[in-house]
Amino acid sequence: MNAPKPDGSQLDLFARDPRLDPWRAPAPPAAKPAPPRITLPSPPRTPDDPPLKRIVLGQYAVDYELKRSTRRSIGFMIDDDGLHVTAPRRATQPSIEEAIRAKQRWILTKLHERGERRARHAQREPLRWEDGARLPYLGGEIVLRLEPAARSHCVFDAQTRELKIGVTQGLTEWQLKERVKLWFHAEAKRLFTERLDFYAPQLDVHYRSMTLSSAGTRWGSCTVAGNIRLSWRLIHYPLALIDYVVVHELAHLREMNHSPAFWAVVGLVYKDYDGARLELRRRSHEMPVLFAE
Kindly report, residue by residue over 71-103, the tens digit of the pLDDT: 889 999 887 778 999 999 999 999 999 999 999
* Statement to judge: residues 118 and 141 lie in one domain: no
Does residue 104 carry a pLDDT above 50? yes
- CA dist 82 and 52 (Å) reads 11
112 compared with 236, residue with greater pLDDT: 236
pLDDT digits (tens, 9 = 90+) for 253-292: 999 988 999 999 999 999 998 888 888 877 776 666 676 5
- Find the mean pLDDT for residues 233-247: 94
pLDDT-based confidence at residue 215 (cuts at 50, 70, 90): confident
Integer angstrom CA distances of residue 9 from 13, 18, 191: 6, 14, 88
Q: What's the confidence (pLDDT) of residue 199? A: 96
Q: What's the confidence (pLDDT) of residue 189? A: 96
Helix boundaries (H) for the chain = 8-16, 93-102, 104-122, 173-203, 239-251, 260-269, 273-286
In this structure, is residue 260 part of a structural domain?
Answer: yes
Q: What's the confidence (pLDDT) of residue 78? A: 86
* Statement to judge: residues 185 and 231 lie in one domain: yes
- Find the mean pLDDT for residues 107-130: 74
pTM above 0.85, yes or no: no
In this structure, is residue 16 part of a structural domain?
Answer: no
* Statement to judge: residues 202 and 85 lie in one domain: no
pLDDT digits (tens, 9 = 90+) for 194-208: 999 999 999 999 999
* Statement to judge: residues 105 and 59 lie in one domain: yes
In this structure, is residue 26 part of a structural domain?
Answer: no
Q: What's the confidence (pLDDT) of residue 10? A: 43
Q: What's the confidence (pLDDT) of residue 270? A: 93
How many domains are there within the chain?
A: 2
* Statement to judge: residues 141 and 259 lie in one domain: yes
Share of the chain above pLDDT 90, in %: 47
**Amino acid letter, 50:** P
pLDDT-based confidence at residue 111 (cuts at 50, 70, 90): confident
* Statement to judge: residues 115 and 155 lie in one domain: no
Domain boundary among 66, 89, 122: 122
- CA dist 209 and 227 (Å) reads 5
In this structure, is residue 205 part of a structural domain?
Answer: yes
* Statement to judge: residues 115 and 143 lie in one domain: no
Write the CATH number for 249.
3.30.2010.10
Q: In the predicted model, what is the mean pLDDT of the chain?
A: 83
- Find the mean pLDDT for residues 205-234: 90
Does residue 50 carry a pLDDT above 80? no
Q: What's the confidence (pLDDT) of residue 9? A: 42
pLDDT-based confidence at residue 15 (cuts at 50, 70, 90): very low
In this structure, is residue 268 part of a structural domain?
Answer: yes
* Burial class of residue 151 (count of CB atoms within 10 Å of its CB; 0-12, 13-18, 19+): exposed
What residue numbers bound the domain in which 113 lies? Answer: 53-122
* Statement to judge: residues 252 and 153 lie in one domain: yes
* Statement to judge: residues 233 and 95 lie in one domain: no
Q: What's the confidence (pLDDT) of residue 226? A: 93
Q: What's the confidence (pLDDT) of residue 13? A: 41
Pick the closest to residue 196 from 253, 119, 143, 144 (CA basis). Answer: 253
* Statement to judge: residues 250 and 223 lie in one domain: yes
- Find the mean pLDDT for residues 171-194: 93
* Statement to judge: residues 152 and 268 lie in one domain: yes
- CA dist 194 and 246 (Å) reads 10
